[in-house]
Amino acid sequence: MSNNNKLSPAVDDLDPFWLPFTANKRFKGAPKILTRSKGMYYYSDQGHEILDGTSGLWCCNAGHTRDAITEAVSKQIGQMEFSPTFQVGHPLPFKLAERLAEMSPGDLNKVFFTNSGSESADTSLKIALAYHRARGDGKRTRLIGREKGYHGTNFGGTSVGGIESNRKNFGSLLPEVDHICHTLDQSRNLFSRGMPEHGAELAGDLERVCQLHDPSTVAAVIIEPVACSGGVLVPPKGYLQRIRDICDKHGIILIFDEVITAFGRVGSAFASHRYGVTPDIITTAKGLTNGAIPMGAVLIKDSIYDAFMQGEDKSVELFHGYTYSGHPVAAAAALATLDTYQQENLFERSRELESYWEEAAHSLKGLPNVTDIRNEGLIAAIELGCRDEKPGARGYDVFTRCFHEENLLVRASGDVMALSPPLIINKTQIDILFDTLGKVIQATD
Ligand SMILES: Cc1ncc(COP(=O)(O)O)c(C=O)c1O
């Protein structure tokens, strides 16, 4: 039993739960406990209404506790709570795969279901490796990620990920992995609005890394179109197309990790549409079910799938999958979520609000300690200078003051304040969000 019981009216004992990606001791000394949600708001155990500036954790794009999603989940759980998808099937993942294939760019018409972004990332890497083997090119075993990239926390995603703190305590990770340089160039692109002007040539780093290892040994490159968890790095104009061209030149599979950027976050179904660059594989999760039930989906080009289908009918083509791949309740949540996005035109809404959002974000330029501002779609990053060589200290103070004193949920990635509200946010709420954040930044030393 801990001594912390008095700190939250809603939790008896804070001690046993080990919170992920959290300073547990600090949290348990001053917990932030959410007990309810609706629309743009969370409600805390202290009875406060908290404006959600982060869609939970980049998930709840349609806003919170949407009736249609709740009803779909309730109905399905009462009808059939689980059915395997190994050797038998049920209708919902087929329906969902069809919907996703209709929405996807190019000929990414095959869908493999997972339960999270991490599983989607690892699934995509394994499919890329197995694809090359399936077509008789088994020497392509190298995987390339990018500095500051985030692809979840499983071993594959951690290996291709490029955030130091997420890697350094976990041993040697996967072999034959390399990283290209990131695209944050603050000598040339400070306070960029949308895509930065400079840096397309940084894609050339992929050519360098390929030549270093011999391009014919490279299986896949995985990048986030907008690298969000690493501090909101918007791709420089022309960069993604150059990455695509280099992959094409060398026969390398290009994976876009769209766990955050899919489902309207950058004003289109997928970032791939927005940037006019089609990868070979897209990973998704989060917004797929509006965060209501864990689920991920990996979208795969027809020709990759076809390469696996050349053997005998009775052989299993891919020895990979999860007990809950295509889970009926998750699939019901996803179908209701996609209906909601469509009925409310939320992707278009996100695009329409983007310039208002951008103006509001950049209005914080000039405040003390604000060293850079970046934005794209309904995403913004307000970067703060590091205090006394203690990375993340100022960012944490701003986050915690926003929560406890101003009833605003923002996210601190180190000293970068990352914002990604539900796509149902209105202009008044955008004003409140940035006015409040600005006030807190001003009051924080
Ligand atoms: C781009 C990207 N990939 C993968 C993940 C991991 O997703 P999950 O936490 O659902 O495993 C995230 C999570 O933020 C992400 O942003």
- Ligand 1 centre to CA of 225 (Å) is 13
Each residue's pLDDT tens digit, 211-259: 999 999 999 999 999 999 999 999 999 999 999 999 999 999 999 999 9
- Ligand 1 centre to CA of 9 (Å) is 31
Residue 3 pLDDT > 60, yes or no?
A: no
**pLDDT the model gives residue 1:** 43
Q: Indicate whether 306 and 386 sit together in one domain.
A: no
- Ligand 1 centre to CA of 143 (Å) is 18
* Lowest model confidence (mean pLDDT) among 4-13, 96-105, 187-196, 387-396: 4-13
Contact assessment for residue 247 and residue 209, using Cβ atoms and an 8 Å cutoff = no
Residue 383's CATH number: 3.90.1150.10
User: Which of 296, 321, 343 is the last residue in one of the domains?
Assistant: 343
Once rounded to an integer, what is the mean pLDDT over residues 42-71?
A: 98
Q: Indicate whether 115 and 241 sit together in one domain.
A: yes
pLDDT-based confidence at residue 5 (cuts at 50, 70, 90): low
**10 occurs within a structural domain:** no
**57 occurs within a structural domain:** yes
Once rounded to an integer, what is the mean pLDDT over residues 181-203?
A: 98
pLDDT-based confidence at residue 308 (cuts at 50, 70, 90): very high
When the pLDDT of each residue in the chain is averaged and rounded to a whole number, the result is 97
Q: Indicate whether 111 and 143 sit together in one domain.
A: yes
The closest alpha carbon to 191, from 57, 329, 359, belongs to 359
pLDDT-based confidence at residue 29 (cuts at 50, 70, 90): very high
**17 occurs within a structural domain:** no
Q: Enter the DSSP assignment of 234.
A: P
Atom of ligand 1 nearest to the CA of 117: 7
Once rounded to an integer, what is the mean pLDDT over residues 69-98?
A: 98
CB neighbours of residue 369 within 10 Å: 17
Q: In whole angstroms, what is the distance from residue 19 CA to residue 264 CA?
A: 29
Structure tokens at 414: 């180190």
- Ligand 1 centre to CA of 311 (Å) is 34
Of all protein residues, the one whose alpha carbon is nearest to atom 7 of ligand 1 is 117
pLDDT-based confidence at residue 322 (cuts at 50, 70, 90): very high
- Ligand 1 centre to CA of 289 (Å) is 14
Q: Indicate whether 199 and 309 sit together in one domain.
A: yes
Each residue's pLDDT tens digit, 157-167: 999 999 999 99
Substitution site in 19, 124, 233, 260 for ligand 1 pocket (most atoms within 8 Å of beta carbon): 260
Q: Indicate whether 270 and 122 sit together in one domain.
A: yes
Alpha helices in 256-345 (DSSP H): 271-275, 302-308, 328-343
**pLDDT the model gives residue 181:** 98
Structure tokens at 29: 């000394």
Of all protein residues, the one whose alpha carbon is nearest to atom 3 of ligand 1 is 151
Atom of ligand 1 nearest to the CA of 154: 11
User: What contacts 32, CB < 8 A, 6 or more positions away?
Assistant: 44, 400, 403, 404
- Ligand 1 centre to CA of 269 (Å) is 17
Q: Which domain holds residue 421?
A: 32-62+345-443
Structure tokens at 87: 């050797």
Give DSSP secondary structure letters for 323-374. Answer: TTTT-HHHHHHHHHHHHHHHHTTHHHHHHHHHHHHHHHHHTTTTSTTEEEEE
Each residue's pLDDT tens digit, 274-298: 999 999 999 999 999 999 999 999 9
Once rounded to an integer, what is the mean pLDDT over residues 185-197?
A: 98
Substitution site in 286, 288, 293, 298 for ligand 1 pocket (most atoms within 8 Å of beta carbon): 286
The closest alpha carbon to 351, from 423, 279, 444, 290, belongs to 423
Grouping H, G, I as helix, E, B as strand and the rest as coil, residue 238 is coil
**260 occurs within a structural domain:** yes
**8 occurs within a structural domain:** no
Q: Indicate whether 330 and 186 sit together in one domain.
A: yes
- Ligand 1 centre to CA of 152 (Å) is 5
Residue 302's CATH number: 3.40.640.10
User: Which of 291, 317, 343 is the last residue in one of the domains?
Assistant: 343
Q: Indicate whether 270 and 367 sit together in one domain.
A: no
Q: In whole angstroms, what is the distance from residue 146 CA to residue 154 CA?
A: 16
From residue 176, how far is each of 133, 158, 172, 206, 266 by CA, in Å? 16, 13, 11, 15, 33
- Ligand 1 centre to CA of 260 (Å) is 7
Q: Indicate whether 339 and 352 sit together in one domain.
A: no
User: Which of 311, 343, 375 is the last residue in one of the domains?
Assistant: 343
- Ligand 1 centre to CA of 37 (Å) is 22
Atom of ligand 1 nearest to the CA of 257: 1
- The ligand 1 site (C-beta within 6 Å) comprises 116-118, 121, 150-152, 224, 228-229, 257, 259-260, 285
**pLDDT the model gives residue 27:** 97
Residue 35 pLDDT > 80, yes or no?
A: yes
User: What contacts 232, CB < 8 A, 6 or more positions away?
Assistant: 226, 374, 375, 376, 379, 380, 381, 413, 416, 418
Atom of ligand 1 nearest to the CA of 229: 16
Grouping H, G, I as helix, E, B as strand and the rest as coil, residue 252 is coil
Q: Indicate whether 430 and 397 sit together in one domain.
A: yes
Q: Indicate whether 336 and 351 sit together in one domain.
A: no
- Ligand 1 centre to CA of 2 (Å) is 32
**pLDDT the model gives residue 177:** 98
Each residue's pLDDT tens digit, 107-139: 999 999 999 999 999 999 999 999 999 999 999
pLDDT-based confidence at residue 198 (cuts at 50, 70, 90): very high
**5 occurs within a structural domain:** no
Q: Indicate whether 128 and 235 sit together in one domain.
A: yes
Substitution site in 182, 229, 420 for ligand 1 pocket (most atoms within 8 Å of beta carbon): 229
**273 occurs within a structural domain:** yes
**pLDDT the model gives residue 172:** 96
**229 occurs within a structural domain:** yes
Buried/exposed code over 91-107 (b: 16+ C-beta within 10 A; e: otherwise): ebbeebbebbbebbbee
Q: In whole angstroms, what is the distance from residue 56 CA to residue 58 CA?
A: 6
Q: How many domains does the chain have?
A: 2
Q: Indicate whether 137 and 255 sit together in one domain.
A: yes
Grouping H, G, I as helix, E, B as strand and the rest as coil, residue 432 is helix
Atom of ligand 1 nearest to the CA of 261: 1
Grouping H, G, I as helix, E, B as strand and the rest as coil, residue 419 is strand
